[in-house]
Amino acid sequence: MSMHRTPRALAAILALTLTPLVSAHADPVTDQIDAGRRSYEAGDSRVAIQALQFAIAEIESQLRQQQLKLLPEPLPGWSADDPVSETGGFAAMIAGTNLARTYRNDSSGAVVQIGVTADSPLLAMMGMLMSAPMLMQTDPRNSPYTYGGFRGMMETNEDGNIKITLLVGTRILLQMEGRDGADRQMLEAYLKAIDLTDLEQALLG
């Protein structure tokens, strides 16, 4: 039996050998877009829609992971839960983009929670409140607060817990809440760890 192979056979073997390598480095988004285009050209609209929906979901997932990196890592002496996000789909239509992370001081047990909301319909109401300090101060527990030129509010409840709310531009709300002994200094240490310019650019483009 001859061991010689024609160039065509060798090319076929090479293609089969390289296929796993190509697949390993394939981009799931472009793969699905290409699949959707092929299905559309073949007249299979339903499969084309499914492929494009998958591509959109994958893009949203990648965007979510990038946005979560905007929340700071725990400061020295602190630990943190994994950041969480609610972005895209029906939730985004109602509440916008929401990022959150909880931090704990390893020695005192103090807790700091950071929440970021972007493009929520509720932000218009908060914007009105931030623009009216007199209205804000109708509650004696509230006081005007500013940081880096951004307007906000500081709340102190009966337990001594502090909450800082900051309006970044007109479409992002940053909230930092301390409890179990977390004081203003701790909240502002985490506030300084957030690049507000990067936050605004990343969430709003």
Q: Is the pLDDT of residue 205 over 80?
A: no
Q: Please tell me the least confidently modeled range out of 10-19, 29-38, 106-115, 147-156.
A: 10-19
**pLDDT score of 137:** 67
**pLDDT score of 9:** 44
**pLDDT score of 95:** 59
Distance CA 105, CA 111 (A): 6
**pLDDT score of 10:** 44
162: nearest Cα among 198, 88, 199, 112: 112
pTM summary value: 0.71
pLDDT tens digit sequence for 119-144: 877 777 776 777 776 766 677 788 88
- Indicate the pLDDT class of residue 176, thresholds 50, 70 and 90: very high
User: What residue ranges in 77-134 does DSSP mark as E strands?
Assistant: 78-80, 84-86, 97-105, 111-118
Q: Which part of the chain has CATH 3.40.1000? A: 72-204
**pLDDT score of 3:** 46
Q: Which residue has the higher pLDDT, 196 or 91?
A: 196
pLDDT tens digit sequence for 20-66: 444 445 788 888 888 889 988 998 889 889 988 888 888 877 777 77
Query: What's the 3-state SS for 129-179?
Result: HHCCHHHHCCCCCEEEEEECCEEEEEEECCCCCEEEEEEECCCEEEEEEEE
Torsion of CA 184, 187, 193, 196, to 10 degrees: -90
Q: What is the mean pLDDT of residues 86-94?
A: 52
130 within 8 A of 137, measured Cβ to Cβ: no
Q: DSSP assignment of 21-49, as one string? A: HHHHT--HHHHHHHHHHHHHHTT-HHHHH
User: Is CATH 3.40.1000 correct for 72-204?
Assistant: yes
Distance CA 128, CA 165 (A): 13
**pLDDT score of 16:** 42
Q: Is the pLDDT of residue 11 over 70?
A: no
